[in-house]
Amino acid sequence: MGDSMKLFKSIKWRLQLWYGLILVVVLAGFGFTSYQLERNRQFRRIDDELHRRVGVLGNAMHRPPPRGADGGGLPFDRPPRGQFPDDGPPGQNFRPRTEFHLPPEDAHFFGTNDPNGFYFKIRVGGGIKPGVQNETAIAHSDNYPERQSGLAYDYYFEQVNHVEKLRGKEVMQPVVMNLAEQRVVLNTLPSGEIIEVGCSIAPELHELNVAATKLTAVGVAILILGLAGGWWFVSRALRPIQAISTTAVKIAAGDLSQRINSAEAESELGQLAAVLNSTFARLETAFAQQKQFASDAAHELRTPVSVILTQTQMALGRERDAAGYKQTVEACQRAAQRMRKLIESLLELARFDAGQEILKRHPFDLASTVKDSVELVQALAEERRVKLVSELLPLSVIGDSERIAQVITNLLTNAIQYNQPDGEVRVKLEAQGNLAVFTVADTGKGIAPEDLPRVFERFYRADKSRTGAGNSGLGLSICKAIVEAHGGTIEMASVSSAGTTCTVRLPIND
């Protein structure tokens, strides 16, 4: 029971069952329609022949005998003797003898001894009961069956008897029916005679049975081939799903380098595989960054902790004077401040990553904020002998002015610290379309091309020339997080030995 339930929950088996059901319905409908068309064609041909012979017999009724005939040499030329006396006992329904002469040229329409040929029988109407001893027949062929029976057959004669009582008010229509393996046409003439023409349809029924057997065999063969082809097609179509499942299991086990083979890139599942591969790649990158981040954070924290432990152990190891203890406490304080700054930076980045950092949203003059930041770092620039050149266009943006000032100050500080002596830092603010573009360009040594794409990574330092005291490598990462939180972008361009340019783009307040 459990296996059968799992079977019906399988997408492959569901598709196969639906496909098989549709194929069965289509094949059954096609086979039934083909059989009915062939059956109708066969019976229509037979019915045309039967109606043709009914017409021949109807034309032969009440026709005088051919000249020169003695009445005994022509087939179907006289009624059976003794059936139509001119008179009879009172109360019996006797009729005058009805003349029937079938012309010689029409005799070929009926077989004489062929049981599978066409046969006929002509009866008188009114009070007749077919197949009984007192049935009155005008004429019949030699190959006429001994007895006909059937509900439709008997009902027709009952209707004839009823119509006979209302002669002149109602006319019976010709009736075509099957009696066992016989096809029969019954037609009542206006004069009251009933013409019955029939033939054996055993050969036709045999042909129809053979056709039905062939159609069934062909249908079963097509069904088997269709189911096999459908199974192959469904298996091939669902192969990417199996690959996705297998790859996901391996990734869940820890192998993040696994990818799905998306050979059928143009199909829906191929596109899904491509999307999942992209997701897996980002997941692998995120895990690698997280691992590197944790390693770098531990490394950065280990240094000040080691300083604190070393200083305290030295202070506890031997007695010192007040100045020695003060020096130890100051060293511990510097290490603790470095730790605090690092922890604050990490928490700040974590809040940005989680979307929990609350930013103010109000319009402010970006040029004024840049000007304040330039004044803030002016002393550092003079100490480093770096010239600050500003070109500011008044522009209004929406956001947190304090956070933007933090970004500008950080960029200016980096440009000053890593500049050449007697160098220059150019600060420019201009409008480009609906964006405020702020650039900081220095004349330092620049950044190597291989290091440039990674400058915004956390804890990343290009080289020793870009590393200062107390620098944790998180400043540019925080700047990037702040700018992107304001809907802007930040990018770095550098030419070796020619300087570095950092560009920040923020939406202008319309």
- pLDDT for 375 equals 92
The band of 71, judged by pLDDT with boundaries at 50, 70 and 90, is very low
- At 506, which amino acid appears? L
Contact 196, 152 (CB under 8 A): no
List Cβ neighbours of 303 (8 Å cut-off, separation of 6 or more): 335, 338
Residues 168 and 108 in one domain: yes
In which region does residue 405 sit, left (phi positive, over 0), alpha (psi from -120 to 50) or beta (all else)? alpha
- pLDDT for 285 equals 78
Residues 414 and 348 in one domain: no
First to last CA, the chain: 68
- pLDDT for 91 equals 44
Write out pLDDT tens, residues 137-164: 788 888 887 766 667 777 777 776 665 5
- pLDDT for 137 equals 75
- For the chain, the domain total comes to 3
The β-bridge partners of 195 are 122, 187
Residue 30 to residues 11, 209, 411, 437, Cα–Cα distance (Å): 28, 16, 79, 73
- pLDDT for 304 equals 79
Q: Which domain holds residue 465?
A: 362-507
3-state secondary structure of 92: coil
Q: Is residue 226 part of a domain?
A: no
Contact 310, 332 (CB under 8 A): no
The pLDDT of 21-37, averaged and rounded, is: 92
d(CA 220, CA 27): 9
Q: Which of 165-169, 172-176, 292-296, 434-438 has the highest mean pLDDT?
A: 434-438
List Cβ neighbours of 231 (8 Å cut-off, separation of 6 or more): 16
Residues 95 and 197 in one domain: yes
Residues 372 and 476 in one domain: yes
3-state secondary structure of 479: helix
Residues 159 and 76 in one domain: yes
d(CA 414, CA 501): 11
DSSP sequence for 2-68 = HHHHHHHH-HHHHHHHHHHHHHHHHHHHHHHHHHHHHHHHHHHHHHHHHHHHHHHHHHHBTPPPPTT
Choose one of 331, 354, 377: the last residue of a domain. 354
Q: Is residue 15 part of a domain?
A: no
In this structure, the chain runs to a length of 510
The position carrying tokens 């192959």 is 232
Residue 347 to residues 272, 408, 467, Cα–Cα distance (Å): 36, 20, 22
Residue 131 to residues 135, 146, 390, Cα–Cα distance (Å): 7, 8, 126
DSSP sequence for 137-152 = EEEE-TT--S----HH
d(CA 230, CA 237): 10
Residue 392 pLDDT > 80 = yes
Residue 198 pLDDT > 80 = yes
d(CA 386, CA 483): 26
List Cβ neighbours of 395 (8 Å cut-off, separation of 6 or more): 365, 366, 367, 429, 431, 436, 508
Choose one of 295, 325, 354: the last residue of a domain. 354
Residue 241 pLDDT > 70 = yes
Residues 367 and 335 in one domain: no
Residues 161 and 78 in one domain: yes
Q: Is residue 243 part of a domain?
A: no
Choose one of 183, 201, 219: the last residue of a domain. 201
Residues 406 and 293 in one domain: no
Cβ atoms < 10 Å from Cβ of 368: 15
3-state secondary structure of 183: strand
Residue 10 to residues 7, 14, 260, 347, Cα–Cα distance (Å): 5, 6, 21, 47
Residue 178 pLDDT > 80 = yes
The pLDDT of 104-108, averaged and rounded, is: 77
Please report, for the domain that includes residue 281, its CATH number. 1.10.287.130
Q: Is residue 404 part of a domain?
A: yes
- pLDDT for 81 equals 37
Percent of the chain whose predicted confidence (pLDDT) is above 90: 25
Residues 77 and 111 in one domain: yes
Q: Is residue 478 part of a domain?
A: yes
Percent of the chain whose predicted confidence (pLDDT) is above 70: 77
Write out pLDDT tens, residues 250-282: 877 877 777 777 665 556 777 777 888 888 888
Residues 339 and 405 in one domain: no
Q: Is residue 117 part of a domain?
A: yes
The band of 238, judged by pLDDT with boundaries at 50, 70 and 90, is confident
Q: Which residue has the higher pLDDT, 7 or 421?
A: 421
Please report, for the domain that includes residue 431, its CATH number. 3.30.565.10
Q: Supply angle C-alpha 137, 138, 144, rounded to 5.
A: 65
Q: Which residue has the higher pLDDT, 104 or 166?
A: 104
Q: Which residue has the higher pLDDT, 388 or 96?
A: 388
The pLDDT of 69-91, averaged and rounded, is: 44
Average pLDDT, the chain: 79
Q: Which of 121-125, 194-198, 271-275, 322-326 has the highest mean pLDDT?
A: 194-198
Q: Is residue 162 part of a domain?
A: yes
The pLDDT of 406-415, averaged and rounded, is: 91
Strand pairing of 387-392 and 424-432? parallel
d(CA 338, CA 447): 26
- pLDDT for 396 equals 92
Residues 347 and 368 in one domain: no
Q: Is residue 61 part of a domain?
A: no
Residues 387 and 502 in one domain: yes
- pLDDT for 370 equals 93
